[in-house]
Amino acid sequence: MRKKESTPKESKKETPEKVRKVSSGPIRDKSRTMNKMIAAVGKVLQKKGYTGLTAPNIAKAAGVDKKLVWTYFGGVDNLVEAYISQKDFFKSTTNKGIQHLLLNPDQLTKNDINALLQNQFDTLLNDRSLQRIIHWEVGEHNDILRKIADAREELGENLFSKVIPYFEHSAVDIRARLALVISGIYYLSLHAKNNGSKFCGIDINTEEGKKQISDAIEELIYDAYNKVSS
């Protein structure tokens, strides 16, 4: 009997190995580490104050080697500056409200100005790190803080350029009025959160006290605009 010839098994088609996507792991890892280090500045600032902002303290809070302070940022000053730039209310690139106002070609309305100041008041009251930065800024001379303050002033001038035309031919000094309101927000917030006592009989640590100041801010801004339109 003739032996049946065996047919060769069909060889499985060789499928090319899936090409693994080249991950940008090292880049992402570096970015994550840098963000951790920037965040660690805030932790140290809250716990130890600005005198505690040293490379060992920041590195320990971030859980990294202190050498990375120089490798990634070139030194403590640059790292601290990166943190303050993120936290500064007016300069922060994450402040979409301010960016929107700057891109708007029209003059700023009283509602815009009031909303901006109310947001600043609320932010400062609730952000311990930002309170520390303001306290540091008014308490001693520091090149980093001066640089941030100058950048803030430059941004402020961009906002003023949209506000001033409305008050140009009036007796209202809107610059001075806003200076008093903003400095009042700074001081009242720091006083309430660090001292804890009342100021002029108002406790802004309570909802009632906070509303009193919030209403006064609105009244001062609306009054300025109303004096021009009346």
Give me the pLDDT at residue 164, please: 87
Write out the residue range of the structural domain in which residue 145 sits. Answer: 96-229
- Kindly state whether residue 203 falls inside one of the protein's structural domains: yes
- Break the chain down into helix, strand, coil percent, rounded to 5: 70, 0, 30
DSSP at 94: T
State the pLDDT at residue 19: 46
- Of 82, 111, 128, the one marking the end of a domain is 82
Whole-angstrom distance, CA of residue 134 vs CA of residue 193: 12
Let me know if residue 212 belongs to a domain.
yes
Residue at 196 is within a domain? yes
How far is Cα 102 from Cα 81, in angstroms, rounded to an integer? 23
Q: Which segments in the chain show pLDDT lower than 50?
A: 1-23, 93-94
Q: What CATH code is carried by the domain that includes residue 61?
A: 1.10.10.60
132, 72: one domain:
no
Number of domains in the chain: 2
- Residue 42, domain member (yes or no): yes
Are 114 and 154 within one domain?
yes
Q: Is the residue at 19 inside a domain?
A: no
* Co-location of 104 and 40 in the same domain: no
Residue 26 has a pLDDT of 62
Task: Identify whether residues 189 and 223 lie together within a single domain.
Answer: yes
Say yes or no: 100 and 207 in one domain. yes
Residue type, 141: H
Q: What is the pLDDT of residue 23?
A: 45
What pLDDT is recorded for position 10? 47
Prediction pTM value: 0.73
Same domain as 63, residue 123: no
Predicted confidence (pLDDT) per residue in 157-180, tens digit: 888 888 888 898 899 999 999 999
Cβ atoms of residues 94 and 86 within 8 Å? yes
Give strand pairing partners of 202. 199
Residues 74 and 100 in one domain: no
Instruction: Decide if 125 is inside a domain.
Output: yes
Choosing from 37, 60, 82, the residue where a domain stops is 82
Residues 128, 102 share a domain: yes
Does 12 fall in a domain? Answer: no
Q: In this structure, are 122 and 159 located in the same domain? A: yes
Q: In terms of domains, do 204 and 169 share one?
A: yes
Identify how many contiguous H helices and E strands the chain contains and give both numbers. Answer: 10, 0
Do 74 and 43 lie in one domain? The reply is yes
Residues 130 and 203 in one domain: yes
Q: What is the pLDDT of residue 109?
A: 86
Residue 6 lies in a domain: no
Angstrom CA distances, 162 to 18, 100, 118, 154, stand at 57, 13, 19, 13
Which tens digits make up the pLDDT trace of 18-41? 444 444 566 678 889 999 999 999
- Residue 7's Cβ-side half-sphere holds a number of Cα atoms within 13 Å equal to 3
